Amino acid sequence: MVRKFFFLALLLLPGVVFMSSCKKEELSAKKEILSVIFEASKNPQLDRNYMGEINGTEILTEIAFGTDVTTLVPTIEISPRATLSPAAGNSTNFAGPVIYTVTAEDGTTKNFTISVNPAPAPYIGAWTGGPIDFGLGLMRVNLEIDAEGTLSMELVDILTSEKSIKSVKGSFPPLSRQDTEIKLDQTHHWGNNGWLEESTNRTIMYHVNHAQSIKFYYCESYPMNEWCLQLNLTKQ
């Protein structure tokens, strides 16, 4: 009886070995990026952690306006037993899309594009405020700023609807943080009947109260050391 079982075991052994060897050769084909996060602990320029939104092979992360994206360190989770190139955890320039390649255990690959987009500048848009009296009568303030940093500020007399001589136009570096003195290259001021060319430096500064409200400062010198106009403005 023992000899019979021994003989049967010898017959089954090659099959067991064959099945075992086949199982070892089953390499994983999984090659996905499972998550992308930019952690504040690894990126001192960030105010908090930012998660990437995965849509197929496109991954988009929106971060705060004005953030330096040229030295961001991503934390990337990929499929088990896969590898990533370039490696995660390195300082990377995300001024443009960056392509990452995930290689599965079986050698197959898949490319993913990670993009980082700063949020639009909070000051962009048309704003209004007033009435305010700073020595020239009651004025309403109409302020417009675009994405390129072009500024137009009109101070309009509430009674006569005429523009004040304090109305100005100019431009400033568009990537400017709040609560920071910003140099305004003033190009025009309002004359008696129209805009007059002018080349001088002023100071502006802003603070975001919330999405529809900002506090805006305009000063007649740069750096800020002379007369300043302080305005609470709401988005039109």
- List C-alpha distances in Å: 71 to 90, 108, 142: 9, 30, 38
Give the end of a domain, one of 92, 118, 144.
118
Q: Is position 17 within any domain?
A: no
Cis peptide before 44 (omega within 30 of 0): no
Q: Is position 28 within any domain?
A: no
pLDDT score of 6: 42
Judge if 156 and 221 occupy the same domain. Answer: yes
Bigger pLDDT: 6 or 197? 197
Q: Is position 22 within any domain?
A: no
Judge if 70 and 114 occupy the same domain. Answer: yes
Judge if 155 and 82 occupy the same domain. Answer: no
Judge if 153 and 212 occupy the same domain. Answer: yes
Residues 39-53, mean pLDDT to the nearest whole number: 95
**Residue 89 DSSP SS3:** coil
Q: Is the pLDDT of residue 214 over 90?
A: yes
Give, for 231, the enclosing helix (H) or strand (E).
strand 228-235
pLDDT score of 24: 60
Judge if 131 and 177 occupy the same domain. Answer: yes
Residues 134-152, mean pLDDT to the nearest whole number: 90
Q: Could you tell me the pLDDT band of residue 174, with boundaries at 50, 70 and 90?
A: confident
Judge if 129 and 214 occupy the same domain. Answer: yes
Give the end of a domain, one of 100, 118, 136.
118
Q: Is position 25 within any domain?
A: no
Q: What percent of the chain has pLDDT over 90?
A: 69
CATH number for the domain spanning 142: value is 2.40.128
Q: Which of 85-99, 131-145, 176-190, 201-215 has the lowest mean pLDDT?
A: 131-145
Q: Is the pLDDT of residue 26 over 60?
A: yes
C-beta atoms surrounding 170 within 10 Å = 23
**Global confidence as pTM:** 0.67
pLDDT score of 45: 92
Judge if 186 and 201 occupy the same domain. Answer: yes
Tally of residues, the chain? 236
Q: Could you tell me the pLDDT band of residue 175, with boundaries at 50, 70 and 90?
A: confident
Q: Is position 10 within any domain?
A: no
31/98 Cα distance (integer angstroms): 17
Q: Across all residues in the chain, what is the average pLDDT? A: 88
Bigger pLDDT: 191 or 15? 191
Bigger pLDDT: 170 or 138? 170
58/15 Cα distance (integer angstroms): 46
pLDDT score of 212: 92
Q: Is the pLDDT of residue 12 over 60?
A: no
Q: Structurally, how many domains does the chain consist of? A: 2
Look up the domain containing 231 and give its range: 125-235
pLDDT score of 10: 45
Judge if 104 and 143 occupy the same domain. Answer: no
CATH number for the domain spanning 58: value is 2.60.40.2340
Q: Is the pLDDT of residue 1 over 80?
A: no
Judge if 155 and 75 occupy the same domain. Answer: no
Q: Is position 26 within any domain?
A: no
Give the end of a domain, one of 80, 102, 118.
118
Q: Is position 7 within any domain?
A: no
- 230 φψ region: left (φ > 0), alpha (ψ -120 to 50), beta (else): beta
